[in-house]
Structure 1
């Protein structure tokens, strides 16, 4: 097409829409409060359902009934015209010409054009799904209030999704932090919300998973609810996936396999729609590849009896994989069995997606299974997260991370056909919408999706305040909390929204989720400042023990530390958090506490951690209790000094606690986070003590080694996954001195690890999790140039290396001769 033709088309377009240039930014709107819907489609159920969605969502927000008719209006009146691309011959010529000026659409795409001169809005889908997504976008852009519908006049859109798989997992099981409390109508509403934002898939779960069969919240049995979920998805034309782990006793035993087959007949038969089955290779259900794929072939026969076109997708998830396991797994994948759908890339997959793409045949698709729901001990943890947040907000808090989710998505999106997220409840609600927006268009700005989110879910007058407020909540989590003064400012912004909010908005669970995080974050910030100062005061009092006497100093220090709970700060912020936790339970079934809301432990109950100590008070008090029992004053004073000097490596030494960003400066990272968002190559922050048989803990309240509370330093680690080396470098050591290393091995994993210094063995493989502190001599050859490179590696099949503290201690008694 020539430039002259392009120019002519643009001029014609501008005339027809009333002189407005396409995609211009202005605040003009068109009143559509008295409009009617025109649609000629009579049979297609998804198109008719889409019109119902438009009608019902408008009524919900405006109380205006938009009447539907199948003929053009005889008089001039505002009109919303809905149709399929194949029906354009029924449109007036001028409408056809406007639509033709917009770029062509692809599968599931749509065009929206606003014509201010004739007060007309055109929504045309490339196919029935495209109609739904076009209506969804129109709803997101509408400015709706009581008795009022306004449409921006600058909407001229042609949009098609980049990726064909766009969805989220909605598991009806006790482990979720809210879904298990829902009715079928609540699932319908939420699935509709996801569709309005562009999702085309929902993943459900069978009654038997790595969880309890039921919870006190469930209104109906799981088998009934998943049938309803399948029906709901089908009504919106959405694909139904099922996550179905292998939890049988023995998949090589005929009796055990028979029970598994019988269960699947029951489940697959109950579902009116099932398009794909996702079977994880592990986490849970670890099987050797030969056994796994032999079983999948049997499972496929049952699946296709009830759903002939459904395929089975499988993931190479495994907690302790070996090279032999992977070789066998990908060998089966590349055989491309008739029942095989593709590979799923999710948590606990050792191989980066780039390498998976190279290992499998070109035509085999990959689907991502991103963990958007967890903030630590997860596929995509918050980087270098402050410990104060980690032990209070925990693993599954309300976690809007809009800019982070876009980065994670776009880092490796080209290697897959889209994604269905791993979700454990409503805590990741914002992340769901962001991820779907990026699956639709990776170039779309985050702020656009957040404004749509705020406008559609909360209200037009809250658009900018809530959108920016969600970004501010993400900023709250970045860097050291102690110096993040913006946390209080974020609360102030949300409090202003709270004061202006209508009763309906105050009962809106999405508004409640943002508000409770603003109060919670500010409360932890203020507590951290207060408790940090209390600890420093107590330490100062103990430093004076030699003057005042040990027992007097211990008494003063104990009283000072106990002020954290005896004389707490900003109690009103805490009380508002408790009120909002109740409100969320009432509005959406969110379970933020175990005792009151019957949450599953460690699954969203972050309000239980609201007063967890943020300083070393518990460890100090335990130590002081033991010291106080010593009968000799001199011994008591020595023990106090030893306690206070715990982190001192001595003259010429080095100490690092990897909860500190300054210590992280020594950690070697070969790949940027933008290229390795899941830290499969790069080091990451780890949390948890992991001693005395505990694989991991979510907070510091758990008792640690030898029945005493653990120091906070043991809760933080620098971590690498699997057998990826962990490298830490020290410079400017004295080549003429001898050194020893004291190292703390704590953390979630109990792995076999070994340490080398400049490739010289320091210690061979030892099992961590048995004791926290080890001490070794550093080989003299490792420091002959004044630099020291320490490296830790795991044995094959182990889960990772973790180091929480390091002391490099100079031994000045054994200096070498000049």
Structure 2
């Protein structure tokens, strides 16, 4: 039995002495699938399985691989067993076992089905050095529910790891995706909204995309290409000539290309008539080299109008011969259900889910804590298995499947979840995670790593300050770390989980520590009248500076830095700009590891101004105003939408499971975006007039486009005289209008010019003691964002 007694494993059969039996001698996809099976078993167990092209006389210790069309050549016992199983269709497979003979059958409905059946078998095998075990109840008949299942792998400098891949690493990674059900890979042309090259890229992009195409073809996978419109003018003949020649060179270089995805925008900004005229020209060039390829297009535009959408869908419904379908992805205003209502029946939709970003994205982490948003940032290592299943299943019935938007390896777990859900949306998340852990890390880690990944997602839920589970999660990963072999410690997938566990725990401890330091500093400032304003300012600043001078849990930080180096070595992951040459604002979350988590920077900035100006009495007044900043006065309300309590005011008619993208319901957002500052995938504390901003300006409740943002305040004084102060900050600027009970509070103003506005609340809006507020944007705007609200009862202030 090898290294482990059979009793240790329970009901498992030993496949260590198996021979691979396959009668197929000509089909290249089946032959390559057999190589995948042999290679992956040898890689994990050291066992080299031999292959035979005929059935030997003895009937034991076999892995029998075949096509349904060749079953008449199988032994009658095998035919009968397979015949009792449900029928399969395109890309489907059957896995059947004869435990008494240590025999497993893998039969594909077609050539691709053989690969997916072998992938499923590999995921269920327990492979140890010198031994291969298989549970004796692996009997499966399965056909994918969705025909498009894949992921984007752009070889460009903007990614957080792909740009460092060699050809072999792409082969390995694409194979991994195929083993977990993917049948498509989306590549990118050499010219996108990015540089042409960087220090990581092993070969020119035009050569690598040709290699990616060859790899996919070897596995029988479809090749898609995301090709944005980067030209300066698509009506000028000279500009068009440049665009056409570029595409001719790209399409010629790629041996296989099945579909072209052209986003309507981001980048690119064409009106629909101009866009579709260009797509017709592009299709002609495409068909010179890939005559069966289709073009898919998305209604993606940053400032959408009704006229734009009417024209876009008008073109779609003409059903041009070159049109493949519509792509639903990030920053598309129209919900996918509405797209199905607007296009002709039979026009397919492909989803383009953003599984790679945490915020300012299609599916941001709901109600995410600001401490995580400013440290983990937009593109960290982000396993979100439960959320991904919710997002997938919310709209899967409207599409033919999906090819995810990915910027590297940070979303590795999410890719596997999506592919498994595209195969079968009924698959439990934990089953996929167990397969992931068993196959990629090792069978001894099936439970520990799968549970550890779930724990990392739970780390992200709710307020960090009271999430003690973060420490438990680290302890669990540390237990695995202590017991791990050198090979496991060098496994990039294990490293990604481990670094997140350390990083999360470090932020948790820092948040507790820095929150207490800020409270202590505020308490000192409250004694300014007794000890003098200058002494209070000096002492408060000394306390706040302790966050840098006397940091907590430096050993956890140091472990993160070491693991960042390990990931750069193992997979080319770029988690810092200076050391690992990451693209700024992308996957470099380790650069944010010590970003302040309290209002210390803002307080120090404000105290420096107070210290330099005014008399002692004026300094005391200024200090008091600083401490009382959030106080709305007697009978008033203050809300900061970085806190769960304030979200209780927000009206939402849809749950997260119904609207995870927030197209019809409010969602969380981050960023300051004031006084000409442009948001560049980072959340910074610099804002108005160059001064540090309070944390409250960095977190908003947001509604997208022209969807109204509504809030309700109860129990106000019907006879009161109220004003509202509101902070308009956030990633993007919009023209926004506020009404109360359908009465105008302020007409359209452009946000981003100043942070805080103050308006009188109409008396008519308060007659029943309930204040209903509604923000709306003009047509074509990005959306409404609100970070703070003060409701102030001026009658009560007068009484004071």
2:138 is equivalent to residue 143 of structure 1: no
For residue 623 of structure 2, what is the aligned residue in structure 1?
640
Deviation of the 1:169 alpha carbon: 0.2
2:304 maps to which of 316, 321, 326: 321
Q: Is the 8 A contact 2:685 2:698 kept in 1?
A: no
Q: CA deviation at 1:537?
A: 0.4
The answer (yes or no) to whether the contact 2:16–2:130 under 8 Å persists in 1 is yes
* Match of residue 57 from structure 1: 40
Q: In 2, distance between residues paired with 1:401 and 1:702?
A: 27
Structure 1 position 96 matched with structure 2 position 79: yes
1:612–1:701 CA contact under 8 A, matched in 2: no
Task: Tell me if structure 1 keeps the 8 A contact 2:685–2:694.
Answer: no
The answer for the alignment partner of 2:462 in structure 1 is 479
Counterpart of 1:312 (choices 292, 295, 311) is 295
* Match status 1:506 vs 2:475: no
1:535-684 correspondence to structure 2 within 5 Å: 535-684=518-667
Q: Does 1:470 align with 2:453?
A: yes
For 2:796 and 2:770, how far apart are their aligned partners in 1?
21
CA distance in 1, matches of 2:786, 2:177: 41
Residue 692 of structure 1 corresponds to which residue in structure 2? Answer: 675
Cα deviation code 1:630-680 (max 9, x no counterpart): 241101110000000000011111100000100000000011221111100
Aligned partner (choices 687, 697, 715) of residue 698 of structure 2: 715
1:254 aligned residue: 237
Q: Distance in 2 between matches of 1:743 and 1:393?
A: 28
Q: Deviations over 1:590-613 (max 9, x none)?
A: 000000000001111000000000
Q: Is contact 1:741–1:806 with CA below 8 Å preserved after alignment?
A: yes
* 1:434 and 2:410 aligned: no
Match of 1:737 in 2: 720
TM-score by length of 1: 0.96
Contact 1:33 1:149 in 2 (8 A): yes
Cα deviation, residue 75, structure 1: 2.8
Q: What SS class does the counterpart of residue 140 from structure 2 fall into?
A: strand
C-alpha distance in 2, partners of 1:346/1:150?
42
Asked if the contact 1:108–1:133 (Cα under 8 Å) also holds between the matched residues in 2, the reply is yes
1:797 to 780, 785, 795: 780
Summarize deviations over 1:703-723 as a string: whole Å, max 9, x none.
221221000000000000001
Structure 1 position 119, deviation (Å): 1.2
Structure 1 unaligned spans of 5+: 1-25
2:478 to 495, 499, 503: 495
| In 2: Cα distance, 1:674 partner to 1:453 partner | 25
The Cα shift of 1:64 comes to 0.7
Between the aligned partners of 2:404 and 2:196, the Cα distance in structure 1 is 23
Secondary structure of the residue aligned to 1:208 is coil
The question of 1:175 aligning with 2:158 is answered yes
**Match of 2:402, SS?**
strand
Counting only pairs closer than 5 Å after superposition, residues 24-39 of structure 1 correspond to structure 2 as 27-39=10-22
What is the aligned counterpart of 1:160 among 129, 143, 146? 143
Distance 1:109 1:813, change over 3 A: closer
Query: 2:44, 2:543 → 1: CA distance?
Result: 54
Q: Aligned to 1:354, what secondary structure does the other structure show?
A: helix
CA contact (8 A) 2:685 2:695 kept: no
Query: 3-state SS of the aligned residue for 1:344?
Result: strand
Q: Please give the secondary structure, in 1, of the residue aligned with 2:230.
A: coil
- In the aligned structure 2, how far is the partner of 1:675 from the partner of 1:815? 46
| 2:303 pairs with 1:331 | no
Does the 8 Å contact 1:700/1:712 carry over to 2?
Answer: no
Distance 1:380 1:700 in 2: 18
Other structure's SS at 1:793 match: strand
Partner Cα separation in structure 2 for residue 592 and residue 322 of structure 1: 38
Is the alpha carbon distance of 1:632 and 1:230 closer, same or farther for their aligned partners in structure 2, counting shifts above 3 Å? same
- Equivalent position to 2:335, from 340, 349, 352: 352
Q: Indicate the RMSD between aligned Cα atoms, in angstroms.
A: 1.1
Q: Is the Cα contact below 8 Å between 1:509 and 1:588 reproduced in 2?
A: yes
Could you tell me which residue of structure 1 aligns to residue 62 of structure 2? Answer: 79
Q: Closer, same or farther in 2 for the Cα pair 1:539/1:813, shift >3 Å?
A: closer
In structure 2, how many angstroms separate the alpha carbons of the residues matched to 1:815 and 1:179? Answer: 63
1: distance between equivalents of 2:690 and 2:703? 29
Please report how far the alpha carbon of residue 814 of structure 1 lies from its aligned counterpart in structure 2 after TM superposition: 9.3
Number of matched pairs: 791
> 2:586–2:681: 8 Å Cα contact kept in structure 1?
no
Structure 2 gap segments, 5+ residues each: 1-8
Q: Tell me the alpha carbon deviations over residues 502-537 of structure 1, each in whole angstroms, 9 at most, x when there is no partner.
A: 000000000000000000000000000000000000
Alignment partner, residue 324 of structure 2: 341
Shift of 1:133: 0.2
Please say if 1:226 is aligned against 2:240: no
Stretches of 4+ moved more than 6 A in 1? Answer: 813-816
Relative distance call for 1:422 and 1:204 in structure 2 (3 A) is same
Deviation at 1:695, TM superposition (A): 3.2
Per-residue deviation at 1:696?
2.1
Quick check: 1:736–1:815 contact (8 Å CA) kept in 2?
no
Q: Name the residue aligned to 2:759.
A: 776
Give the Å deviation of 1:785.
1.1
Structure 2 residue aligned with 1:196, among 179, 184, 188?
179
Give TM-score scaled by structure 2 length. Answer: 0.98
Q: Corresponding residue for 1:750? A: 733
1:412 corresponding residue in structure 2: 395
Q: Which residue of 2 aligns with 1:13?
A: none
Displacement of 1:213 in angstroms is 0.8
1:631–1:695 CA distance, 2 compared to 1 (3 A): closer
Aligned residue in 2 for 1:280 = 263
